[in-house]
Structure 1
């Protein structure tokens, strides 16, 4: 649904009196919707299993109550000038292909438009978005003549990573130089685009037959930044086979050891797990079991650092790590109340490794297959 509105961009020469339209939030509440406490863009009417996603002047309505959706659209039409755009196929640069088997999300057109702005005209592509073992610093190369282009391209890549987790780590690295980008940083940005050129239709697939089991992978690359020696946190969350959340993030403080870096990453991952569990419960897919009475079913969190897991489980170990800020210690509390269950995983099976460092092509392809990215030709 598209809400018709007007934007005034000119300088007004006289007073203008306007009657403000009814607040759409007030209307939704009057129609029985409640705002989701964990995602304020989502409104749910649980009695009829109708969900509404509101974004500025656009909204997406979904659910399994056809009559309820029709009544909602009629109510909205009576109050606002709206256009029914039909089944979702394109939204804010996101391309959506729906079949009986699932939903495929991509940003192929958006990526193609970005590529056109780079000026790349040859057919050369790259097998990975970032060259392995390369570390960038603020003094690499020479200062760029066109700072604006670099910032626009990196900004575009940040939005492209909404459906392209495979570029999340390199974009995270290169976005740290927006204030003063240099020639080596720009060359790395062009490499990302050459990789995108060869993988234009990569996207996320959500199978209609996937289970609702929830699990997460947590990883860290210790002291990976050559400038301040801060570590990188990486995590990814799966609902069944579908990748639903991921992140590559520089840690706030410099870690004293790889164990500390991994433990901080576990804290960030656990925070995201808690947030998604709340959202899943609101959407009717609680992570709990019914065995005589309702009990929590913990989310499996896979970590490849045994010491970090021992710290989370053992009070004696935690006494030796008081230099880690207090809020990191909420992980053991979530273990006790069955929110998370920490599991050791081998480094080769650590899916989140793709969010903490660059890899050689073979390893990169292996990790990419674990993310369940697919590539569909346009129909």
Structure 2
């Protein structure tokens, strides 16, 4: 269990409450936890999966392969029956499962891992090649991770968008969202489902007049509407060049992908850990 916060008294009280119910041992400052590597500096925390990623590259013999700047080829459309059926489907499933675990500190591969995970039941050589392409991107960004900088103010901001009917199999949309409380994302998602147009969604929560066809809107949506009216939440339209969640809904060309990666707070460790480092 990881306990974190800026109130030492509250942390101490929580430890005492937990120790009454459970046998506990305080291990000090976190450095390594279930594959997560956490490095602390005087400017914040850097969280990565470098050792785990290196082991994955060794396991799937990617060490000698050429690195890639992006996880997936632009405009690639995978098909269920494309390529030859794999003889060893377990190896493919292990690879995809390991990539899913890496998304904990690498939100930038969430969409691409989601794409290949759709073919877990009957994978082919084409699906395996795409999964290995993601690994080749991981190889080229081994030292990248989430950089949580110290912030003086708290501001929750979020982006959401959908790649309308982008799935070539059933024309379902891919929804993407991310939320940050400062320099780096703390929550994100890339999920295949059908959603309404984002412009319509903004008008719906901003307009107090609901028609009969919107009766299916659940309580949580009305909650957002109330927060908009009280000006606790502000909804705005985002231009395409600034829509960071495009990285969760589609493959992007190199410069845009890297720009959005930086915007999410996924950076090289050298950039994050300039200055003193403590574990």
TM-score w.r.t. the length of structure 2 is: 0.86
Q: Does structure 1 residue 167 correspond to structure 2 residue 109? A: yes
Task: Go from structure 1 to structure 2 and tell me whether the alpha carbon gap of 1:95 and 1:68 turns closer, same or farther (over 3 Å shift).
Answer: closer
Q: Does structure 1 residue 91 correspond to structure 2 residue 39? A: no
Q: Which residue of 2 aligns with 1:351?
A: 244
Contact 2:86–2:125 under 8 Å retained in 1: yes
Distance 2:126 2:211 in 1: 44
Q: Which residue of 1 aligns with 2:62?
A: 120
Equivalent residues in 2 for 1:19-98, closer than 5 Å: 59-63=1-5, 64-65=7-8, 69=12, 72=15, 76=19, 80=23, 82-98=24-40
Q: Does structure 1 residue 365 correspond to structure 2 residue 255? A: no
- For structure 2, the 5+ residue unaligned runs are none
TM-superposition CA deviations, 1:221-268 (whole Å, max 9, x none): 0001111000000001010222100000001x4x6xxxx2x3xxxxxx
Which one of 179, 182, 188 corresponds to residue 124 of structure 2? 182
Distance 1:329 1:215 in 2: 22
How many pairs are equivalent? 268
Q: Does structure 1 residue 340 correspond to structure 2 residue 230? A: no
Distance 1:74 1:340 in 2: 35
Task: Go from structure 1 to structure 2 and tell me whether the alpha carbon gap of 1:311 and 1:112 turns closer, same or farther (over 3 Å shift).
Answer: same
TM-score w.r.t. the length of structure 1 is: 0.64
Which one of 260, 269, 272 corresponds to residue 376 of structure 1? 269
Equivalent residues in 2 for 1:101-116, closer than 5 Å: 101-116=43-58
Return the structure number with greater strand share.
1
Distance 1:161 1:354 in 2: 13
Which one of 322, 327, 343 corresponds to residue 217 of structure 2? 327
Secondary structure of 2:234's counterpart equals strand
Distance 2:118 2:55 in 1: 23
Distance 2:147 2:267 in 1: 7
The CA RMSD over aligned residues, in Å, is 2.8
Distance 2:13 2:202 in 1: 51
Report which structure shows greater RCO (CA 8 Å, sep ≥6): 2
- For structure 1, the 5+ residue unaligned runs are 1-58, 263-304
Distance 2:11 2:208 in 1: 53
